[in-house]
């Protein structure tokens, strides 16, 4: 007895089986990020262009997840211009896990957060601040220091932030710097 696989929408379509007994199907594969964007839960965080006018460490980014959903950082893009009067070309980027204070938090400036699904009214439930020359980050654990040359680089992050967790980032320009433009953009989604 033959069985027929029919669609459940009431349009009376049935599945095709060819002479080699293969069931014909069509599928769409997408990443978790692409799926989150289609559901209105994919976001971009951007510091905008920040001009650093010294060779001292300055906090430029702070993100804290206040949502019950896990925040997945997918990718980040850093852009660094050329230093005026800097003695080297490298800038030091320092990452912090769960910073507890600093002027980037106490004297906060909201960062630009955009939903990638332009028809969605969903908003990220968290604190997102951008830094400036002389802003600080305190507390927490230093994750890593990276040397980054003037360029545009895409960094794969794959970091998860559960509720209440935060990250911060600071830049230390080259010795002697009097002007350098920096920008950091983060692509993330909620579970």
Give the CATH number for residue 123: 2.60.120.680
As a whole number, mean pLDDT of residues 77-103 equals: 89
What is the extent of the structural domain holding 114?
32-190
pLDDT value of position 131: 96
DSSP letter for each residue of the chain: -----B-TTSS--B--B-TT-PBP-------HHHHHHHTT-EEEEE---EEE-SSS-EEEEEEEE-SSSPEEEEEEEEEE-PPBS-SSS-EEEEEEES--B-HHHHT-EEPEEEESSTT------EEEEE--TT---BSSEEEEEEEE-SEEEEEEEEEEE-TT-EEEEEEEPPTT-SBEEEEEEEEEEE-
Report if residue 2 sits inside a domain: no
Mean pLDDT of the chain: 89
- Asked if residue 44 is part of any domain, the answer here is yes
- State yes or no: pLDDT of 191 exceeds 70: yes
Report the C-alpha gap between 170 and 111 in whole angstroms.
Answer: 15
More confident residue, 62 or 9: 62
The answer to whether position 17 is within a domain reads no
Could you report how far apart the first and last alpha carbons of the chain are, in Å? Answer: 44
- Please give the average per-residue pLDDT across 22-42, as a whole number: 86
CB–CB of 7/13 below 8 Å? yes
Q: Is residue 21 part of a domain?
A: no
Residue 48 has pLDDT above 90, yes or no: yes
- pLDDT of 177 above 70: yes
Q: Is the model's pLDDT at 11 over the cut of 70?
A: yes
Q: 25 in a domain, yes or no?
A: no
- Number of domains forming the structure of the chain: 1
Residues 105-128, mean pLDDT to the nearest whole number: 93
Does 5 fall in a domain? Answer: no
Average pLDDT for 19-34: 85
Residue 26 lies in a domain: no
Judged against a pLDDT cut of 80, whether residue 153 lies above it is answered with no
Predicted TM-score (pTM) of the model is 0.80
Who wins on pLDDT, 31 or 146? 31
């Amino acid at each position: 007895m033959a069985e027929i696989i029919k669609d459940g929408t009431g349009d009376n379509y049935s599945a095709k089986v060819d002479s080699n007994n293969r069931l014909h199907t069509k599928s769409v594969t997408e990443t978790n990020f692409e799926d989150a964007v289609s559901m209105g839960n994919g976001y971009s965080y951007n510091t905008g262009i920040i001009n650093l006018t010294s060779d001292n460490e300055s906090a430029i980014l702070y993100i804290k997840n206040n949502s019950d959903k896990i925040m997945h950082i997918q990718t980040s893009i850093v852009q660094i211009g050329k230093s005026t009067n800097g003695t080297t070309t490298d800038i030091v980027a320092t990452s912090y896990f769960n910073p507890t204070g600093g002027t980037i938090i106490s004297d906060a400036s909201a960062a630009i957060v955009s939903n990638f699904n332009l028809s969605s009214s969903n908003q990220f439930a968290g604190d997102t601040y951008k830094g400036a020359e002389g802003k600080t980050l305190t507390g927490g654990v230093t994750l890593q220091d990276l040397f980054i040359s003037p360029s545009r680089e895409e960094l794969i992050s794959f970091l998860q932030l559960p509720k209440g967790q935060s990250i911060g980032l600071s830049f230390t320009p080259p010795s002697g710097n009097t002007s350098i433009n920096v920008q950091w953009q983060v692509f993330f989604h909620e579970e």
